[in-house]
């Protein structure tokens, strides 16, 4: 059994890595410092075909597999986690729900621009009082003659307020108690984009809260069958967990590479600090965790691409990879010592960016709950 990527995958990796090193690396420190969301980079990633990787050619996509998307997210995330999550959310949470659950008219309306990277879509599931308990949504949908009126709030929504955001898919509780999904075009009356969050990390990512105040949604904009929104979105999150795992690999690998390079060149007591077992053993352990995270992530992607059940594998990959990424940033910062605590350090930004990986797309605690249930344990 082998989860080795194909020659085509590795050739694609080289293309994305070259793009990231030339188009992202020279600017990421400034974007981070200024909390700037670079719309022009989204367009460039679109021109490279990154937003269309997993979608059929009929919608302008590349018809590729999920492993290809993971490669792209890993390589973008190795340089900049903010642009990595922009890609991950744009594909997995913006376009994918419409592709999987939309009717032909909805696909024709939204997918061409989303797949091309000319527009971004957002995924409005989380609420101020409904995060891990996503089924506790309080946003309401009241039926009217020509559609629905939505009222409620959404929190921490990626790609929700940029100049190229075209649509937000939101969950809302119907009058019969079921949860449905609705496509809310940007600029709709009653859709209020709150000011951007002041975040610990992901400074160059576009993240806002949303308020829905008597927001009218036309009848043709319900996504999927009535009452299917929550169930459908949970299946979307399975895919998202694999993608976040790839983003975490990019973070961990970047920290490993930077720390190894520093350990080879930083002199102390007349020798490179990498000569000391306290440093070299820590980096050896980090190399093991990066390798393990990579294997778990691409195994989950392989299961998905093979049409096999992947929920358990996605949760395992997400849990391990994201916690490995957080550990990687801590180890790398420790290797850099005082220099790692300075913003100019190549690991400082990753240190701030990594923590959200253990929270978004389901916290580590939720992943453990999913895994425990998969073992057949009678957990709550």
User: CA 60, CA 62: separation in Å to the nearest integer?
Assistant: 7
User: CA 203, CA 208: separation in Å to the nearest integer?
Assistant: 12
The answer to whether residues 256 and 293 touch, using CB atoms and an 8 Å cutoff, is no
Compute the radius of gyration of the chain from its Cα atoms. 21
Give the β-pairing of 120-124 and 165-173: parallel
User: Which residue is catalytic, options 220, 344, 361, 365?
Assistant: 361
Residue-by-residue DSSP string for 268-336: ETTEEGGGSHHHHHHHHHHHHHHHHHHHHHHHHHHHHHTT---HHHHHHHHHHHHHHHHHHHHHHHHHH
Strand partners, 216: 149
The answer to whether residues 39 and 163 touch, using CB atoms and an 8 Å cutoff, is yes
DSSP 3-state of 227? coil
Active site residue 47: no
The answer to whether residues 259 and 332 touch, using CB atoms and an 8 Å cutoff, is yes
Chain length of the chain: 380
User: CA 64, CA 19: separation in Å to the nearest integer?
Assistant: 19
User: CA 368, CA 262: separation in Å to the nearest integer?
Assistant: 35
Please list, residue by residue across 150-179, b when 16 or more beta carbons sit within 10 angstroms of its beta carbon and e when fewer do.
Answer: bbbbbbbbbbbbbebbbbbbbbbbbeeebb
Give the β-pairing of 140-144 and 147-158: antiparallel
State the catalytic residues: 361
């Amino acid at each position: 059994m082998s989860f080795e990527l194909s020659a085509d995958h590795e050739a694609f990796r080289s293309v994305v890595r070259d793009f990231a090193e030339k188009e992202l690396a020279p600017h990421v420190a400034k974007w981070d410092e200024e909390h700037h969301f670079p719309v022009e980079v989204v367009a460039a990633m679109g021109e490279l075909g990154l937003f269309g990787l997993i979608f059929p050619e009929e919608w302008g996509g590349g018809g590729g597999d999920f492993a290809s998307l993971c490669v792209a997210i890993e390589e973008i995330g190795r340089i900049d986690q903010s642009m990595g999550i922009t890609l991950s959310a744009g594909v997995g949470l913006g376009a994918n729900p419409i592709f999987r659950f939309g009717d032909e008219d909805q696909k024709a309306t939204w997918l061409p621009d989303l797949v091309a990277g000319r527009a971004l879509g957002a995924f409005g599931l989380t609420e101020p009082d409904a995060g891990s308990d996503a089924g506790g949504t309080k946003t309401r949908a009241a039926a009217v003659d020509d559609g629905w009126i939505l009222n409620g709030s959404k929190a921490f929504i990626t790609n929700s307020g940029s100049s190229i955001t075209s649509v937000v898919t939101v969950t809302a509780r119907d009058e019969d108690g079921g949860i449905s999904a609705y496509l809310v075009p940007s600029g709709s009356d009653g859709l209020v984009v709150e000011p951007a969050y002041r975040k610990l990390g992901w400074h160059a990512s576009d993240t806002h809260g949303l308020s829905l105040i008597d927001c009218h949604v036309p009848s043709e904009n319900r996504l999927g069958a009535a009452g299917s929104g929550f169930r459908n979105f949970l299946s979307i999150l399975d895919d998202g967990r694999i993608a976040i795992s790839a983003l975490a690999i990019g973070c961990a690998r970047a920290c490993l590479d930077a720390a190894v390079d520093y350990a080879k060149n930083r002199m102390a007591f007349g020798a490179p600090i990498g000569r000391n077992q306290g440093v070299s053993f820590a980096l050896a352990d980090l190399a093991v965790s990066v390798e393990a995270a990579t294997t778990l992530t691409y195994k989950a992607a392989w299961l998905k691409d093979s049409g096999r059940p992947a929920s358990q594998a996605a949760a395992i990959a997400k849990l391990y990879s994201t916690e490995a990424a957080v550990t990687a940033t801590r180890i790398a910062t420790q290797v850099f010592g005082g220099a790692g605590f300075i913003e100019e350090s190549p690991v400082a930004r990753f240190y701030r960016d990594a923590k959200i990986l253990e929270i978004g797309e389901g916290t580590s605690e939720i992943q453990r709950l999913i895994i425990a249930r998969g073992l057949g344990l009678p957990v709550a």
